[in-house]
Chain A
Amino acid sequence: MGGFLPPAERRSSALLGLYTALSLLLLILGDRLPQASLRGVGAWIFAPIDRIVLTADRMAAAWHENQRLHQAVAELMIENQHLRAAGIENQRLREELGLPAYHGFTLRPVEVLALSGEAVPAAATLSAGTHQGVHEGDPVMTREGLLGRIGESYPTLSRVVLLTDLNSAVAAEVESTGVLGVLRFTTAPRPRLVLTSVPLADTVRIGQQVLTSGLSRRYPRQLPIGRVSRLGRDASGLMQDVEVEPFARLSRIRHAFVLVRPAAPGDHP
């Protein structure tokens, strides 16, 4: 064939033949080739490109996050000013009414090392223990809401009993109405948090926030727990069955805060 064609066309035909043969060989011998090694070479070649894309993607995400955080900081600063004024006013009113002074909490950031429990996690291991000032009974929460309390504390680790532990019970109240109840975890008919011991006469609405009531003395008052998601009657038909959707994502926690109590006179851990 080569003799009939001019040199340039002969060369291009030869090139095409070579490429076609190589491609067919790759296609036919596909399963015999070391695909993993070849893909490794491919990954090595494309790594700089992937890195550029990843960097650009991260920068774009960081830029958006920065904007959102700027807005959040501005809003929180305004809210903080209001809360500071309200706190001073509250302190003065408590003094005038003769109520005991409120002791604040120190938030200690900790890492969640592991979650344990079948299907729904019931406990978590934290990266701080007694050496870091974390003791049994200290409440644990995330930015969103309550997680549980420290059940066991070791020198450098501790274990949290989550709200989803079947033995956990939290004295809670419904925000604004002050309806009281005990928050428990149940698996029947499906895993859920339920505010129990709520009389039928009490008015509870879907969407209302549920907070700690402070009546059990295990948790301080006003810690956010979740939101009322469903209403019904319990098995006896005498009490309400208030289902609560927790604010904290219990199955996806990476970081948390331990509320370390300040050493106050007459305060026991």
Chain B
Amino acid sequence: MRPLGALLVLVGVALLLRSTALSALAARGVVVDVLAFATAMWALRYGESWGATFGFVLGLAADLDAAHWMGRHALLLALMGYAVGRLSRTLVRDSARTQLVLLAIATLTHQVWSAAFELDRLESWPYLLQRVLVAALLTAPLGTLLLSLLRRASGQPLFGHAVLESGPSS
């Protein structure tokens, strides 16, 4: 039950951040993709089952909160959670370099997917491309920095324990 409670709390926090501080930043062109970050980190810690579940729940909640058809975020974040969870078995999860690359790929994928739905006119692609790149360039280092700070604060590796590797579903 513990991961379920943590999942709901993290979903709430991610959505709260997205609709407040991050949305104010996004209006100024500073896009930080908290959905991709939260999904990737959760999947990295708890594996593919919980990663997919977290991605689906977070995506569905984000879809409900937005004015577009549902399923858009849910589909990609569920796939992303699953993929990152599968990759986490073979990666050095506490390496900052791994986290940086994973976050950059996750953000790029999520942003490109979201931008694909907004590409109604050919003239809008430079703006969307800029948004995708800015999001990836900001989210990856900021996320890595945040994880490094959390690791320092907790005094132990965030993802390294073998007990947590398989997650509650396995």
The interface of chain A, by Cβ under 8 A from chain B, is: 8, 11-12, 15-16, 19-20, 22-27, 30-31, 33, 35, 38-39, 41-42, 45-46, 49-50, 52-53
Q: With A and B bound together, what is the CA distance between A33 and B52 in angstroms?
A: 24
B residues near A, CB below 8 A? 12, 15-16, 19-20, 47-49, 52-53, 55-56, 59, 61, 63-65, 67, 69-72, 74-75, 78-79, 82, 85, 166, 169-170
Residue of A nearest to B86 (CB): A12
Residue contact B64 to A42, C-beta cutoff 8 Å: yes
Contacts of A46 on B, CB cut-off 8 Å?
Answer: 15, 64-65
A181 to B111, CA, bound (A): 63
Contacts of A19 in B (CB 8 A): 52-53, 55-56, 74-75, 78
Known: A8-B166, A22-B56. A27 touches B64 (CB 8 A): no
Provide the bound-state CA to CA distance between A19 and B82, in Å: 10
Nearest-neighbour CB distance to chain A for B165, whole angstroms, equals 11
Complex-state Cα separation, A218 to B52, whole angstroms = 76
Contact A24:B169 (CB < 8 A) given known A12-B49, A16-B52, A38-B64: no
Cβ-neighbour of B19 out of A16, A39, A49 (below 8 A): A49
The chain A residue with its CB closest to the CB of B59 is A23
Q: Which listed residue, B65, B74, B85, B169, touches A11 by the CB 8 Å rule?
A: B169
B96 to chain A: closest CB distance in Å? 27
Interface pair B75/A15, CB less than 8 Å apart: no
Inter-chain contact B69/A27, CB cutoff 8 Å: yes
Q: Are A20 and B78 in contact (CB under 8 A)?
A: yes
Nearest CB of chain A from residue B78's CB, rounded to whole Å: 4
Q: How far is the CB of A34 from chain B (nearest CB, A)?
A: 11
Verify B49–A23 contact, CB threshold 8 A: no
User: Quick one: which of A16, A23, A50 contacts B82, CB cutoff 8 A?
Assistant: A16
* Closest residue on chain A to residue B67 by CB atoms: A39
Residues of chain A contacted by B56 (CB below 8 angstroms): 19, 22-23
Chain B residues contacting A31 (CB-CB under 8 Å) are: 69
A229 to chain B, nearest CB (A): 32
Candidate in B12, B49, B166 with the most chain A CB atoms within 10 angstroms: B49
Contact B69 A41 (CB under 8 A): no
Contacts known (A23-B56, A42-B64); A8 close to B170, Cβ less than 8 A: yes
Inter-chain contact A12/B169, CB cutoff 8 Å: yes
Which chain A positions have C-beta within 8 A of B71? 22-27, 30
Contact B72 A16 (CB under 8 A): no
10 closest A-B pairs by CB:
A26-B71, A42-B64, A30-B69, A23-B75, A8-B170, A27-B71, A19-B78, A12-B49, A19-B56, A23-B71
Tell me the smallest distance from the CB of B52 to a CB of chain A, in Å: 5
Distance A33 CA – B71 CA, assembled complex (angstroms): 12
Do residues A12 and B52 form an inter-chain contact, with CB atoms below 8 A? yes
- Residue ID in chain B nearest A57 by CB atoms: B20
- A253 CB, min distance to chain B CBs, angstroms: 30
The residues of A that contact B55 with a CB separation of less than 8 Å are 19
Whether B69 pairs with A26 at a CB distance below 8 angstroms is: yes
CB pair B70–A15 under 8 Å, yes or no, is no
Question: Does A33 contact B70, Cβ atoms closer than 8 Å?
Answer: yes
Contact check, B169 vs A30: say whether CB atoms are below 8 A apart.
no
- Give chain A residues whose Cβ lies under 8 Å from the Cβ of B49: 8, 11-12, 15
A205 to chain B, nearest CB (A): 40
Residues of B within 8 A of A16 (CB): 48, 52, 78-79, 82
In Å, the complex CA distance between A140 and B55 comes to 60
Name the residue in A11, A19, A22 with the highest tally of chain B Cβ atoms < 10 Å from its Cβ. Answer: A19
Q: Which of B19, B20, B64, B169 contacts A45 (CB 8 A)?
A: B64
CB distance from A186 to the nearest CB of B (A): 40
**Bound complex: CA of A8 vs CA of B169, how far in Å?**
7
Of A12, A20, A42, the contact of B85 (CB 8 Å cutoff) = A12
Residues on A with C-beta less than 8 A from B19 are 49-50, 53
Give the docked Cα–Cα distance between A49 and B61 (Å).
13
> Residues of A contacting B78 with CB < 8 Å?
16, 19-20, 23
